[in-house]
Amino acid sequence: MGVFLKIKPFTLIVIAALLISLAPYSIKPVKAADEYDSMRSKWKSLLVGGAYDPNDPDISVQIASNTKTAQSYWDTLNKAVDRTYLWSDYSNWSTNSANITNSLTRLKSMAIAYNTPGSSLYGNQSLAQDIVNALDWFYTNMYNENRPEYGNWWDWEIGTPQRLNDIAVLMYDQLTSTEITNLNNAVDRFVPDPTNRTLNNIAETGANRSDKAQVVIIRGILGKSETKIVQGRDALSQIFLYVTSGDGFYADGSFIQHTYVPYTLSYGNVLLAGMARLLYILKDSSWDVTDPNVQNVYNWVTDSYQPIIYKGAAMDMTGGRKISRIAESDHVTGQTVIASIARLSQLAPSDKAASFKSMVKAWVQQDTTFANYYKTLPIYDIVLIKSIMNDNTITPSPELIKNKVFASMDRVVHLRPGFGFGLSMFSNRISAFEEGGGENLKGWWTGLGMTYLYNNDLTQYDNNFWPTVNSYRLPGTTTDGTGSGRPIDWHFYENPYNWVGGSSVDDLYGSAGMNFSLSQNTGSPLEGKKSWFMFGDKIVALGAGITDTNNANVETIVENRKLNSNGDNALTVDGTAKPNGLGWSETMSGVQWAHMEGNMAGSDIGYYFPGGTTLYGLRESRTGAWRDINTGQSTTPYTNNYLSLAFEHGANPTNASYAYAVLPNKSAADMAAYASNPDISILENDGDVQAVKDTKVNAVGANFWNDSSKTVSVNGQSFITSDKKASVTTLESNGQLDIGVSDPTQSNSGTINIEINRASSGVISLDPGITVNQLSPTIKMTINVLEAKGKTFTAKFKSTNIPCLQSMVASFTKNNWIDNAGISNSLQEKLTNHDLNSFVAEVQAKREKHISSEAAKYLLRDARYLLSVK
């Protein structure tokens, strides 16, 4: 017997009302899902968050925040039938293309909320109707196949179509086939080809190309067009390749955009995120990426990003104009890079995937600057990063120990446990800075030898550093305070000199240098030569040839550090505590060392001044607004306190010089002890060569400034000779001599000849391009640097040994430098018996009698070396 439900009249009314409310939607017949539908579903998961627990406290906070934002946009949406804009504050969209993109940003926020389980707006049909109506109006009035471009091309060809595609994916089930076709036609009008700009037909590169490839691929998914998906996918192949000029990633880890600006953390960051998205959407589809060069994307992580992220902070020296935006601090930028690396860990080969996850875990654990690390992340990334953090099989990466020269973008990093050092330079290849669209108005000095020191003071370059620091007295720079007025938009502020770069040895120690002139930057005649030698736990900085005729006071800024809120961090100079009140300044003479208290444990810094120097100290409070450095930012004033130390070269110096060492994480007591027994010696500091030896690690760095033969001596004995402009770094340890050589000019079309005053018992390894001409009595080698692009060539040699000395005695006897066979036999016998002390005594006794002075020099050199390592 059937059971009949008795339905009350009120219930029938409610059902009827629901049916009427659904009337605007044409219900599509259910079709079997195809591959396009599966890919569209994947992209929707990326936008909304995929499978997640809405009760997770971090996710629920994000859902609530997103809902609140979407609700505010919905409340202020202009819903009038005769509307001429979608939001009143974007009513000038017909003259300002940015507000076309901005309108879709808001509409996308609403569409995400509509599709987010756990949101109070989830599945709200009134919201869906308003979104679809707005989208229809948008297509009819703002963006369609008949509209011309005006304003910024980026809005028409990247910003707007990307958002339009996302909204179409999110609202696909509410859109008719005609509406989908209309939106696709609009996108095809402005992005018919991802490899070229529609506005002017120039070739797209780097991040722009990736962004447009995304536009075309998602448009292909929406329109179920294999042709468009293939077109977008194939546009990626050029991006995978390393470039040797212009925009893109370089084999040395550099990233350039706008031809001459380091932009790893801006455009490069966008590109990395784009690759993570596109490789995800194409994976396991009929259009998966099969180009073997896609492996370079995973190399970008280790070569380009890992060295410039310190405890979650992405080093601002590769951010370009982004440093002038309050919302893009080093840690916020680092967070976006880390999220992309986490995504790539799901796609990379297993060994790289494991490494990426370890990096992510370490950086998230180390970065304590966020009250809640997940608060601002998209839900998809919250789920992914939490899965990594909660996986006990993943071990956090240890702190990276590395010295790396990014020769193609004039940047250098030196990383050790407890600190990271960054160096920003400019050349005839790389601009000092970039200003554009009113952003980065005071960037004049950011690429002129500015040094960054990252330690446990994780917010040193955060909390309004950039609008409050004295932009004309940045640490590391030699400055005359020039650079006024608004810079020229997108201008190449070049250095007329090309000697800019450096060399590394074993990726552990390095030398860097910059021959600079401000003539094409600020217009000042100031010029000079600057070098930095990075040995273990210290950085040694030298300056020479500093000359100016501008009648301005010239300084070299050793430090300009942001202090605590009271500005009273202790400064100790040669054991004397200096006044800690704001407003203090003093010119101090005969300074041997200084110590600055950090803002927290693990952030103290020591400074050593070889031979003593006169130093100017200043403790000041500074106020500035982000509007001062970016016309699109807030006028709200912020105040920070700073302590600076500087060499004063005076007005119109001629061939002035300086020398100092920075020793991170040292106490005042450490510095007093160090100054009494330093482990560095300045070998040369002039216009021909700048060179330093670190006796602690037995490393030598030398920058040769001229194309003429020049020798650097150590302890009165010649050590390195170069016949060309070159940077050379050497390390002697464990019976081995390692040598790194580069052509920092990147203009030498021939060779560099290097002679090292050591004998070798054999070659361990040589980079291609190195020819060894002799191993004894000195090492001579020729390096072919044609098209080397500033790379370091590495040679590794076995140190001298007893057989090597025996061979040397035989050779000297043959060429009559030892003119007595009996003496030669006696020396060989002592070597056979390993009696080095007697060998030394006999050589000294027969020197300039039967053994030439030159032969004795080499024999004693190697015998004493062997005695020292016994």
Q: How far apart are CA 443 and CA 464, in angstroms?
A: 15
DSSP states of 293-334: GGHHHHHHIIIIIGGGEETTEEPGGG-GGGGG-TT--HHHHH
> If 0-12 CB within 10 Å is exposed, 13-18 middle and 19+ buried, where does residue 849 land?
exposed
267 is catalytic: yes
Q: How far apart are CA 170 and CA 181, in angstroms?
A: 16
Pair 442, 542: CB distance under 8 Å: no
850 is catalytic: no
Q: How far apart are CA 842 and CA 823, in angstroms?
A: 8
Q: 233, 258, 416, 627: which is the annotated catalytic residue?
A: 258
- The phi, psi pair for 235, rounded to 5°, reads -70, -15
Structure tokens at 544: 């020479």
Pair 785, 769: CB distance under 8 Å: yes
Q: Tokens 């995304």 identify what position?
A: 214
Pair 254, 304: CB distance under 8 Å: yes
Q: 90, 143, 250, 267: which is the annotated catalytic residue?
A: 267
What does the angle CA 380 – CA 385 – CA 391 come to, to the nearest 5 degrees? 130
Structure tokens at 413: 């990093």
Pair 321, 436: CB distance under 8 Å: yes
Q: Please say whether the dihedral angle defined by the alpha carbons of residues 804, 810, 816 and 819, taken in this order, is positive or negative.
A: positive
Structure tokens at 80: 């009038």
280 is catalytic: no
Pair 742, 726: CB distance under 8 Å: yes
Q: 40, 106, 219, 321: which is the annotated catalytic residue?
A: 321
Structure tokens at 758: 């050591």
Pair 621, 582: CB distance under 8 Å: yes
Taking the CA of residue 839 as centre, how many other CA atoms within 13 Å lie in the half-sphere pointing to its CB?
A: 27
- The phi, psi pair for 363, rounded to 5°, reads -65, -40
SS3 state of residue 644? strand
SS3 state of residue 316? helix
DSSP states of 508-531: TEEEEEEEEE-TTTTS---EEEEE
Q: How far apart are CA 554 and CA 663, in angstroms?
A: 25
Name residue 561's amino acid: R
Active site residues: 258, 267, 321
